[in-house]
Amino acid sequence: MRSFIYVIFPIIISFSCNPEKIDQHLEEVPTENLLDILLEGNERFSEDHPLHPDQTLNRLRDLSVGQHPLAAIVSCSDSRVPPELVFDQGLGDLFVIRNAGNIVGDYEIGSLEYAIEHLEVPLVIILGHTKCGAIGAFVDHDHDHTHHYSEYIQKIIDFIDAEEEEKALPRDIPDFYEKAIEANVMHGIHELKNKVPMVNHLIEARKLKIVGAVYDVETGKVSILEE
C-alpha cells in the first residue's frame, strides 16, 4: 500500500499544478472588454501560466475561410516581443504589424487602415518596449552625430529623429531613453489619428479605441500609456 501511495501522489500533484486550459475565443468577448482581456492575458503570460488559446488544428481549419481579428497591434520586430505570446492569444486573434522600432509610417498606416476599415477591428495598440534597439540607436545618434550606421538602419533613426514627439523631449533628462520609447509610441497614435479620416469618427462613435503601451522585456508586463 505504501508504494502505491508514493506512485499516485506525484501524479495528483502534476494534475493540480497544471492550470486548466480554457477554450476562450477573443471574438466572443464584448468589444468594451477587449483591452482588459488582453491585459489579463498578459498577466497570465508574465506570471508564467498562459492558457495558449486558439492554437489548435481545429482553430487553424476554422480560419481557412477568413479572418476576424479583434485587435490590431503595431509592435517591434524584436524577437523578445511577440504580441500573440505577450497577450496570451492565438491564431486569428490579433492583426499584427511589426518593424524595427514599432514606427508608424505610410506602410504601417495602410495596414492599420485595412484592419480598421475592412476587418473592422475595434482596438488598436501601438506597442513599444524597454531596451528597444532602434530607439537606443536614435538616442546614441542624438548624443553623438559623428556615429553613423549603415544606410537603411540610418533611415530608421532619421525617421524617429523627425518625429515631433521626439523633438519635444528635453535632451538633459536622466530618463531620456525611456521617454523616447514612450514618445515614439505616442507619435504612432497621433499619426494614425491625423492621417486616417475615419479614425476620429469611429473613436467618437465608440466603435474604435486606440491605446499606446510599453512592454517590459525583464518582467513581461505591458503598461498602458496615458495620452
Q: In sequence order, what DSSP letters do the residues of 44-100 get, joined into one string?
A: HHHTT-----S-SHHHHHHGGG----SEEEEEE--TT--HHHHTT--TTTEEEEEET
pLDDT at position 144 is 84
Would you state the cell numbers that stand for residue 104, as one nine-digit string?
508608424
Calculate the alpha carbon distances from 133 to 89, 127, 139 in Å. 25, 14, 10
Least confident of 147-151, 158-162, 186-190: 147-151
Q: Is the pLDDT of residue 25 over 90?
A: no
Q: Is the pLDDT of residue 109 over 50?
A: yes
For the chain, the helix, strand and coil percentages under 3-state DSSP, each to the nearest 5: 50, 15, 35
* Residue 135 DSSP symbol: H
φ, ψ at 89 (rounded to 5°) = -120, 180
| Count of other CB atoms within 10 angstroms of residue 184 | 27
What is the pTM assigned to this prediction? 0.87
**Region 34-51 average pLDDT:** 97
**Region 116-122 average pLDDT:** 96
Q: Is the pLDDT of residue 91 over 50?
A: yes
Confidence class for position 24, pLDDT limits 50, 70, 90: low
From the centroid of its chain, how far is CA 5? 47
Confidence class for position 143, pLDDT limits 50, 70, 90: confident
